[in-house]
Amino acid sequence: MNIEVDAHPFADCVEMAKDHLNERTDYELVAGYYSPVSDAYMKEGLAKANHRVNMCQLAVDSTSDWLMVDSWESRQPMYQRTAFVLDHFDHELNNVGGGIKTSTGQVKQIKIMLLAGGDLMASFGHPGVWTPEDLHHIVGRYGCVIIERTGTDVYGFLLSHDILYQHRMNVIIVKQLIHNDISSTKIRLFVKRGMSIKYLLPNPVIDYISDHRLYLPQSDT
């Protein structure tokens, strides 16, 4: 299994997902990929895509031996919907890469899944945010690994959402054992207000933010 991560690159959710999947016997976790969104996403406050790719790379280089960064999405001139990004990983790993060879010599297709927090899962029910076609494609064809967030009733939402319930066997819910509300939005705000982010990010990423003067007020950049 490969998981494509839709989360800020320093969240502990990836390790929670890893521990959960390693306890199961029906999957063997192969790798996880961070896929930073392109500048075409036009979200206020985001650093340029090349900076976000570099920060993700610094983070995984200093903290992980199983996470990697894929820059394809960040380099696209137009915003790529999540369904298309999952298709990209499927093509590269299974079509171009040919899948994976097991210890018995058998070649298998790699299962691609989206890793996200319960807050993103809740957005599946927001009108106009996700098309039914994309949700069927994401959850039905690939599947989701969902990390419960504080205050989010993941199981209740799964029961109430018709498309998610239809594909419920393709949704893995991971209990959030350590409650952590650090987010990329809060990190950017802390930097903007001149507050410390020490211990919130890996040191190489903190140094990168400082060296490139990211997230400062416009008058300071």
Does position 9 have pLDDT exceeding 70, yes or no? no
Question: Which band of pLDDT confidence, cut at 50, 70 and 90, is reported for residue 10?
Answer: very low
Contact between residue 11 and residue 186 where contact means Cβ atoms under 8 Å apart: no
b (16+ CB within 10 A) / e for 25-44: eebebeebbbbbbbbeeeee
**pLDDT (tens digit, 9 = 90+) per residue, 180-216?**
778 888 999 999 999 999 999 999 999 999 999 999 9
The predicted pLDDT at position 218 comes to 75
Query: Three-state SS across 156-176?
Result: HHHHHCHHHHHCHHHEEEECC
Least confident of 6-20, 105-119, 123-137, 170-184: 6-20
Does position 35 have pLDDT exceeding 90, yes or no? yes
Does position 221 have pLDDT exceeding 60, yes or no? no
Does position 220 have pLDDT exceeding 90, yes or no? no
Please provide the DSSP assignment of 114-145 as one string. EEEEHHHHHHTTSTTTS-HHHHIIIIIII-EE
Contact between residue 86 and residue 110 where contact means Cβ atoms under 8 Å apart: no
Give the Cα separation of 89 and 38 in Å (integer). Answer: 16
Average pLDDT over residues 74-87: 96
Give the Cα separation of 185 and 82 in Å (integer). Answer: 20
Instruction: For residue 202, give the nearest of 94, 61, 68, 59 by alpha carbon.
Output: 59
The predicted pLDDT at position 148 comes to 84
Phi and psi (nearest 5°) for 135?
-65, -40
Look over the chain and give the mean of its residue pLDDT values, rounded to a whole number: 89
The predicted pLDDT at position 2 comes to 60
207-216 — which CB contacts under 8 Å span 24+ positions? Answer: 208/51, 208/54, 208/55, 208/58, 209/55, 212/47, 212/51, 214/47, 214/51, 215/45, 215/47, 215/187, 215/188, 215/191, 216/191, 216/192
Give the Cα separation of 11 and 26 in Å (integer). Answer: 25
pTM of structure: 0.90
The predicted pLDDT at position 7 comes to 43
The predicted pLDDT at position 24 comes to 81
Average pLDDT over residues 59-84: 95
Angle CA(185)–CA(191)–CA(194) in degrees, nearest 5?
A: 140
Contact between residue 60 and residue 69 where contact means Cβ atoms under 8 Å apart: yes
The predicted pLDDT at position 219 comes to 62
Torsion of CA 112, 166, 156, 80, to 10 degrees: 40
Structural domains in the chain plus CATH codes = 2-186 (3.40.50.620)
Question: Which band of pLDDT confidence, cut at 50, 70 and 90, is reported for residue 8?
Answer: very low
The predicted pLDDT at position 118 comes to 83
For 47-111, strand residue ranges (E) read 67-69, 100-101, 107-108
Q: For the chain, give the percent of residues with pLDDT over 90.
A: 62
Token pair for 112: 């691609």
The predicted pLDDT at position 104 comes to 85
Average pLDDT over residues 129-144: 96
